[in-house]
A and B are shown apart, each in its own frame.
Chain A
């Protein structure tokens, strides 16, 4: 709430009147030129009024000029709304929505609309987007390279020349000899670990390591290691550990991690680290909604030959514009979830009209729940119980789409106008205990032999047919067969015989799902999830009363638990049961215009062909993703020291603690970009402790726009550009029905230092760091001939203009050429940008013939299909169009690295557990409240605290608690309390060097939360990012207390008792546990 103040201070009374003469003078300078063509009639009316003596200053509204307007993409959260930035004297003064971009106007303006018309239309964006320029103009921006001059995290820095920092990182040495205690600490530079460079050796070693991993017997493995050492005797010094060739080359000892990064910047870094030869480039997915991504990946694994692969790291969301019913689970799209400006206008009127009904599953009465038909205040972490209760009711009441589910292959699906199909009818083999294992192959029962086939590159592979039951007889089929339709029986329990006549008991996938759902009664499920049985059946009935126009749309809520993977999969079963994928009003996948030039032959820059031919990195990653414990050379017994991740990647919580544990190996250098794991991860303080470990993380550098809550622990901070100053290709989200590619481009100049890399002057940026490292290391693929003879990659836009050209020329038809008037406007609207940022001549040279198309796209902030192109007949136009797993063979074949047990091929409700599979009962003793978290639309985790418009609107967050709990604890709104847990009994952040920050905040008592649960919004309680004092070059820079206000209670979240330096985790899907911790509140 905004408090208004009254003051009696008289204003400045002198000479403030604008005379008529002044007005006319002003309007002559900045007047009618501001008016766009469509307003001419209106302008004539104005002139008439001026002549009539009715003065107006309308013409002076300088924010309505096409030449003062640039279109780009917001990044104050990952929604990536298109924005229209209004610029005066080179300063971004106002941000609104880009009307060409479907995130901010629904439907949006077609690209064919004139720029002069669009300038008048402002799209709608959220408050974070409105406040974005305040973070560009943050007085706490880092402008020069900072080098640590005290202990890590002590806040003492010196500014150093850019080239010095790069030389030190590459060359190593006694880099911190001036820091007490580090006088003799020798730092290994990147050049000492960029050692394996021979592409052929990479390829050979990778092949041998892959073969070695597949050996089951220990003695075979030992022998293979010995053979490996003999074969590669000349190169053993380039390996991390010759006794463990599966660790890969020393190059892997360079670890690069990122938080928020989109297309373009990801291409830039990938080009570097893949050429450098490290497998250690890891993103942050699991801190957001990893188990949603990786459960969907498992659902989308495709049957290739005889195994499952090529699953997409993605997920589906509802077609909100056409669905009749949506069950939102742990999704609060008015505050987050890709996101407010985009998803809200697609449903608010429909909710009022009653053409869309929604129910909301959330322990909080969220803003979304406040507009819902029903609120289901589920117990956190029990989402799968709700889902399986619904599954059971739907199955037993035959409310599923049997026609959809019985399609065993593509041909059958196509005949039913379905674009997706699943394995509901496929047969699964049972073990001696009747437990499901692998899918039955046709050759196993002598039904149809294996075949040797060739893939599109001519490589041979084995193909095995699968089996469904039809009229009581097994039939062999191929999942992707487009000709011979096979429909299978849905409920099969049978005993087939192998070639020798031995029995093979089988069940169909759907039968297994039915039986799994029947392991508990609906009443038991209701008890587990804390809802009424009647509510579960009512919702199941409602969900199955709208044909394909009903969706279960989920987000972080069910995902960020130790059972996240199974929660998500259980919820996705509901979508499978009605077969709503790709249907209008059903679940959709995202679709984006291609940037790397590999889609059509009209695209001028195929990046695959323009990349250096370096060896493909190999070896275990520091987070052990895409790898099985059992196949490694360090397999001993269960439990493993840390988890292995055969089904997930970008496991954020693993990166820094794994470095600290040197598991599976020790690293030499860490580079982090736009991420604050210390602040954002549950139990983030474990990452602070790990980053302070000079032995295990000997060199740590980062690229950041401020001294952030993680970058403050770095050895070097390279200044980066704010999102208004730089490039990216934001891509899309699954709630966006149309094909798009929003482009982030520089609209203002950056305040950072200019440097020269490869002879090119540029503001220091993330890309500049990679370029300079490449220059010093002599990495191929960068520099004057980076893209081929005479084709330089010496600055960010060398890559990005090529990507824009690819976007402009993707699809059936390229975009039209910009007219000369549009090109003129393009130039005029960028005249405030320095040559180091905008150089039309050079850009035109890069783009070549497609330059006018590049201008056309940049003038509109990206490429967007029209709204009409989103649907075709009863389907969405941009389809997933593939097979979906109900039973997951690949998941089943992976084992839990702590217990050695198989993962479940059919998801189900499993309780919250630590890595050893124990329910955390001891942790709960004495801690009576379960803590969850939430987003407020005004805050993103780390960056929005720098915006005073936002902190002014929301100066602090609070401990949100139910009236009954507050009453029991004697608390009232406004009381200050400390939050503690079994793994953080003091309730504080240990920021090191004697700095501690209490986890304490104000209580807010409400009826809008399930009793027994507390929550808080993320984004407040900073200890860096301008919140604290720092010393640079001996000068103290005072922090801004507004940024330290409120609290972040992540440090109370449980630390896994076995891992000891990491939060609790979902062992299958990778998610961190955000919502499982029990805490207590004490008044302070």
Chain B
């Protein structure tokens, strides 16, 4: 009997974590043929990372093509592409090894475009720099704002970037730029990113694509892969499989 691919990928992950960071290459692959547009990834991520209202690290966009009755619908989840050539990093004024955002090369988060909330000055310059609209500023709002009571669950800590962030008042990450980070705090403990783990269509794949045994490497090898906005030269680490030409839907 075949395993649920969630378990297979967790095993891949455990294996990958034993490798030195530089030998590993975290990547995500989304098979849109299996995405059913349920938004579980979006909401799961919002809850896991304690995102404020109107912010989503991984929105799912919907496209419709054709004319009745010959039509198609496409659901396109769009996390941060963790670009190897990230324009957002270039746009950040807080530079250097102690900078506010950088492409990580070491440790469990190697390969992820990180933000250091403590260094981020909230200038917002990175936000329009991203061609995928993957970044947003946390303006300090809460979901239960405007109701009789601000509820405690909202100010309970999140664990982004291995830190225990109690988002309350003006504590970080309020005022900071925020974005998807492949849930590195989960990866480090051998758990899949939230969006992948809660994908009811099992459309998402995650792992070390350098590991040829890994499911993501095998799926990638066996299919025609697309990336978003190839022309932007960003070198994304998020790949797609789709029947449709994604360049047409989201060029």
Stretch with Cβ within 8 A of A (4 or more), from B79-87, B151-159, B206-214, B228-236: B151-159
The answer to whether A64 and B56 touch across the interface, beta carbons within 8 angstroms, is no
Closest to B146 in A: A1040
Q: How many whole Å from B87's CB to the nearest CB in chain A?
A: 15
CB-CB under 8 A from B220, the residues of chain A are: none
The answer to whether A1008 and B71 touch across the interface, beta carbons within 8 angstroms, is yes
Q: How many whole Å from A872's CB to the nearest CB in chain B?
A: 14
Residue A742 interfacial (CB < 8 Å)? no
The answer to whether B159 and A127 touch across the interface, beta carbons within 8 angstroms, is no
The answer to whether B117 and A937 touch across the interface, beta carbons within 8 angstroms, is no
Residue A184 interfacial (CB < 8 Å)? no
The answer to whether A367 and B46 touch across the interface, beta carbons within 8 angstroms, is no
The answer to whether A953 and B137 touch across the interface, beta carbons within 8 angstroms, is no
Interface residue from A11, A46, A1011 paired with B176 (Cβ < 8 Å):
A11
The answer to whether A96 and B197 touch across the interface, beta carbons within 8 angstroms, is yes
Residue B248 interfacial (CB < 8 Å)? no
Interface residue from A6, A26, A94, A344 paired with B36 (Cβ < 8 Å):
A344
Proximity bits, A921-941, B CB within 8 Å = 1, else 0: 000000000000000011000
The answer to whether A61 and B122 touch across the interface, beta carbons within 8 angstroms, is no
Roughly how many angstroms separate A3 CA and B61 CA in the complex, as a whole number? 11
B48-64 interface with A by 8 A CB criterion = 48, 53-56, 59, 61, 64
The answer to whether B124 and A58 touch across the interface, beta carbons within 8 angstroms, is no
Interface residue from B127, B174, B176, B200 paired with A6 (Cβ < 8 Å):
B127
CB-CB under 8 A from A7, the residues of chain B are: 122, 124, 137, 139
A117-143 interface with B by 8 A CB criterion = 120-127, 129-131, 133-134, 137, 139-140
Residue B135 interfacial (CB < 8 Å)? yes
Roughly how many angstroms separate A45 CA and B108 CA in the complex, as a whole number? 11
Residue A63 interfacial (CB < 8 Å)? yes
The answer to whether A62 and B136 touch across the interface, beta carbons within 8 angstroms, is no
Residue among B122, B127, B128 facing the most chain A CB atoms (10 A cut-off): B122
The answer to whether B191 and A122 touch across the interface, beta carbons within 8 angstroms, is yes
The answer to whether A133 and B153 touch across the interface, beta carbons within 8 angstroms, is yes
Proximity bits, A964-978, B CB within 8 Å = 1, else 0: 100000000000000
Q: How many whole Å from B35's CB to the nearest CB in chain A?
A: 8
Roughly how many angstroms separate A1010 CA and B71 CA in the complex, as a whole number? 12
Known contacts A11-B175, A12-B172: does B162 contact A56 (CB below 8 Å)? yes
Roughly how many angstroms separate A964 CA and B53 CA in the complex, as a whole number? 36
The answer to whether A4 and B14 touch across the interface, beta carbons within 8 angstroms, is no
Interface residue from B44, B153, B188, B189 paired with A137 (Cβ < 8 Å):
B153
Residue B33 interfacial (CB < 8 Å)? yes
CB-CB under 8 A from A341, the residues of chain B are: 40, 200
Residue A2 interfacial (CB < 8 Å)? yes
Interface residue from A54, A948, A1008 paired with B73 (Cβ < 8 Å):
A1008
CB-CB under 8 A from A938, the residues of chain B are: 39, 43
Known contacts A12-B172, A12-B174, A94-B48: does B59 contact A371 (CB below 8 Å)? no
Roughly how many angstroms separate A855 CA and B185 CA in the complex, as a whole number? 31
The answer to whether B201 and A344 touch across the interface, beta carbons within 8 angstroms, is yes
Closest to A119 in B: B191
The answer to whether B34 and A352 touch across the interface, beta carbons within 8 angstroms, is yes
The answer to whether A56 and B107 touch across the interface, beta carbons within 8 angstroms, is yes
The answer to whether A352 and B31 touch across the interface, beta carbons within 8 angstroms, is yes
Known contacts A12-B175, A64-B189, A348-B203: does B68 contact A962 (CB below 8 Å)? yes
Known contacts A39-B190, A91-B156: does B40 contact A126 (CB below 8 Å)? yes
CB-CB under 8 A from A108, the residues of chain B are: 4
Interface residue from B151, B175, B194 paired with A10 (Cβ < 8 Å):
B175
Q: How many whole Å from A347's CB to the nearest CB in chain B?
A: 9
Closest to B43 in A: A127
Tally A-B pairs: CB < 8 A. Answer: 286
Residue among B106, B133, B176, B202 facing the most chain A CB atoms (10 A cut-off): B202
Roughly how many angstroms separate A1037 CA and B148 CA in the complex, as a whole number? 7
Roughly how many angstroms separate A365 CA and B175 CA in the complex, as a whole number? 42
Q: How many whole Å from A557's CB to the nearest CB in chain B?
A: 17
Closest to A88 in B: B156
Closest to B52 in A: A952
Closest to A4 in B: B136
CB-CB under 8 A from A1026, the residues of chain B are: 147
The answer to whether B201 and A11 touch across the interface, beta carbons within 8 angstroms, is no
Closest to B128 in A: A6
Residue B218 interfacial (CB < 8 Å)? no
The answer to whether A1007 and B156 touch across the interface, beta carbons within 8 angstroms, is no
Known contacts A4-B55, A16-B117, A1037-B148: does B36 contact A334 (CB below 8 Å)? yes
A7-43 interface with B by 8 A CB criterion = 7-13, 16-18, 26, 35, 39, 41-42
B1-52 interface with A by 8 A CB criterion = 1-4, 6-7, 10, 14, 17-18, 31, 33-34, 36-40, 42-44, 46-48
The answer to whether B10 and A121 touch across the interface, beta carbons within 8 angstroms, is yes
CB-CB under 8 A from A106, the residues of chain B are: 4
The answer to whether A10 and B121 touch across the interface, beta carbons within 8 angstroms, is yes
Interface residue from A49, A107, A344, A1040 paired with B3 (Cβ < 8 Å):
A107
What's the dominant secondary structure at chain B's contact region? loop
The answer to whether B72 and A42 touch across the interface, beta carbons within 8 angstroms, is no
Known contacts A12-B174, A88-B156: does B4 contact A42 (CB below 8 Å)? no
The answer to whether A95 and B47 touch across the interface, beta carbons within 8 angstroms, is yes
Proximity bits, A825-867, B CB within 8 Å = 1, else 0: 0000000000000000000000000000000000000000001
The answer to whether B136 and A122 touch across the interface, beta carbons within 8 angstroms, is no
CB-CB under 8 A from B123, the residues of chain A are: 8, 10
Known contacts A121-B10, A124-B198, A367-B73: does B38 contact A1007 (CB below 8 Å)? no
Interface residue from B48, B72, B127, B175 paired with A9 (Cβ < 8 Å):
B175
The answer to whether A124 and B71 touch across the interface, beta carbons within 8 angstroms, is no
The answer to whether B163 and A57 touch across the interface, beta carbons within 8 angstroms, is yes
The answer to whether A18 and B121 touch across the interface, beta carbons within 8 angstroms, is no
B195-247 interface with A by 8 A CB criterion = 197-203
The answer to whether B1 and A868 touch across the interface, beta carbons within 8 angstroms, is yes
Q: How many whole Å from A368's CB to the nearest CB in chain B?
A: 8
Residue among B42, B61, B117, B172 facing the most chain A CB atoms (10 A cut-off): B42
Roughly how many angstroms separate A754 CA and B122 CA in the complex, as a whole number? 46
The answer to whether B39 and A127 touch across the interface, beta carbons within 8 angstroms, is yes
Q: How many whole Å from A852's CB to the nearest CB in chain B?
A: 28
The answer to whether B136 and A371 touch across the interface, beta carbons within 8 angstroms, is no
CB-CB under 8 A from B18, the residues of chain A are: 41-42, 45
The answer to whether B200 and A953 touch across the interface, beta carbons within 8 angstroms, is no
Residue among B34, B48, B201 facing the most chain A CB atoms (10 A cut-off): B201
CB-CB under 8 A from A13, the residues of chain B are: 121
Q: How many whole Å from A117's CB to the nearest CB in chain B?
A: 11
CB-CB under 8 A from B161, the residues of chain A are: 57
The answer to whether A953 and B43 touch across the interface, beta carbons within 8 angstroms, is yes
The answer to whether B201 and A121 touch across the interface, beta carbons within 8 angstroms, is no
Residue B96 interfacial (CB < 8 Å)? no
CB-CB under 8 A from A1007, the residues of chain B are: 64, 66-68, 71
Residue A385 interfacial (CB < 8 Å)? no
The answer to whether B38 and A334 touch across the interface, beta carbons within 8 angstroms, is yes
Q: How many whole Å from B39's CB to the nearest CB in chain A?
A: 5
Residue A277 interfacial (CB < 8 Å)? no
Closest to A368 in B: B36
**7 additional contacts (CB under 8 A) given A1-B61, A57-B159, A952-B143:** A4-B133, A9-B139, A139-B147, A341-B200, A377-B68, A867-B1, A938-B43
Among all A-B residue pairs, the 5 with the closest Cβ atoms: A57-B162, A11-B175, A58-B188, A16-B118, A948-B143
Q: A residues near B, CB below 8 A?
A: 1-13, 16-18, 26, 35, 39, 41-42, 45-46, 49, 54-58, 60-64, 88-89, 91-97, 105-108, 120-127, 129-131, 133-134, 137, 139-140, 334-335, 340-341, 344-345, 348-349, 351-352, 365, 367-368, 370-371, 375, 377, 867-868, 937-938, 948-950, 952-953, 962-964, 1006-1011, 1026, 1037-1038, 1040
Q: B residues near A, CB below 8 A?
A: 1-4, 6-7, 10, 14, 17-18, 31, 33-34, 36-40, 42-44, 46-48, 53-56, 59, 61, 64, 66-69, 71-73, 75, 106-108, 117-118, 120-124, 127-128, 133, 135-137, 139, 143-144, 146-149, 151-153, 156-157, 159, 161-164, 170-176, 185-186, 188-192, 194, 197-203
